[in-house]
Amino acid sequence: MNIVLTGSLGNIGRPLTETLVNNGHAVTVISSNPNRQQEIEFLGAKAAIGKLQDVDFLAETFKGAEIVYLMETMEAAGDMFDKSVDFISDITKIGENYKEAIERSGVKKVIHLSSIGAHTNKGTGIILFHHNVETTLRQLPDNISIRFIRPVSFYINLFSLIHDIRSKGAIISNYGGDVKEPWVSPKDIAAVIAEEVDRKFEGKTIRYVASDEVSPNEIAEALGEAIGKPDLKWQVIPSQQLLDNWLSIGFNEQVARGFTELQESQGNGSLYEDYNQHKPLLGKVKLKDFAEDFAKAYQRE
């Protein structure tokens, strides 16, 4: 099968490319970085070098594909410390480019990496763009089938805690406690996408992806044990204090406010309302597995 992947060779793209190539598919990987071309070709895929902001490039690259895999990230819009970037607007525009490129190329099957929280346009902060892109893609004609993949919070986002653990001796957030919430490994996401490629799907449907369900306090305990700090705590501070901290280190204000609101939705459970009604089977990579990777990263820094 001829498949085009966006997302280059990131945390999901690399294992996904490897799996699809090993399964006998003809894979084209879109990357904005020319230096990735050799690496992509080494994996047995074809490289298409261009930007998601270039709809002509996307339409031409999509031609002849039986399935296109679409994703959008904040990195595609700019640096989170660049105060001039409107991330929500710019990424929403990428979704519009995807829609036009699909219409122009004749693609009939789409797998879109969306996100938990995409079910609503309220209270999810910075990830609002996922809802916007889903809404745009749902406007495609009925004869174009889309499988929306909605992963939950990524384990790898926890790497950002390393600085606070080193400097403050604690995990600092505006929510916490003993209520379990879902987390996911990019490896499990890649496995689900590869599975969907080989399945028939019709209409515009949703599939959530999660690896484990654990509470903030359980995360602190697992990460603390892994790095040799068994007393590590998950400390809760007011949202305004967290926002002020992020603004003080130079975060783009939309990003700082957006992540503050997103974490509030994790704490009050609103982020998980739709997930809780459509819970998936959990994947293979558990918190204890990620904790080993976290410990290695912690020791390197």
Q: What is the fold of 2-153+184-209?
A: Rossmann fold (3.40.50)
Distance CA 184, CA 199 (A): 22
Taking alpha carbons only, the member of 211, 213, 236, 234 closest to residue 224 is 234
d(CA 45, CA 49): 13
| Structure token pair of residue 157 | 């986002």
Q: Which two tokens stand for residue 189?
A: 């996401």
Pairing of β 212-214 and β 181-184 = antiparallel
Answer left, alpha or beta for residue 117, where phi above 0 means left and psi between -120 and 50 means alpha.
left
Residue 176's pLDDT is 97
Answer yes or no: pTM beyond 0.85. yes
The whole-angstrom separation of Cα 124 and Cα 260 is 9
Please state the separation of Cα 144 from the chain's center in Å: 23
Question: Cα 198–17–153 angle (5° rounding)?
Answer: 85
Q: Which residues does residue 29 pair with via DSSP β-bridges, in sequence order?
A: 5, 47
**pLDDT recorded at residue 201:** 87
Summarize the chain as % helix, strand, coil (round to 5). Answer: 50, 15, 35
10-residue mean pLDDT series, the chain (301 residues): 96 97 98 96 98 97 98 92 96 98 98 98 97 98 98 97 95 97 98 95 96 98 98 98 96 97 97 97 98 96 71
Q: Which tokens in the block code for residue 75?
A: 């990195």
Query: What are the beta bridge partners of residue 70?
Result: 112
Could you tell me the residue ranges of all domains in the chain?
Answer: 2-153+184-209
Chain center to CA of 265: 17
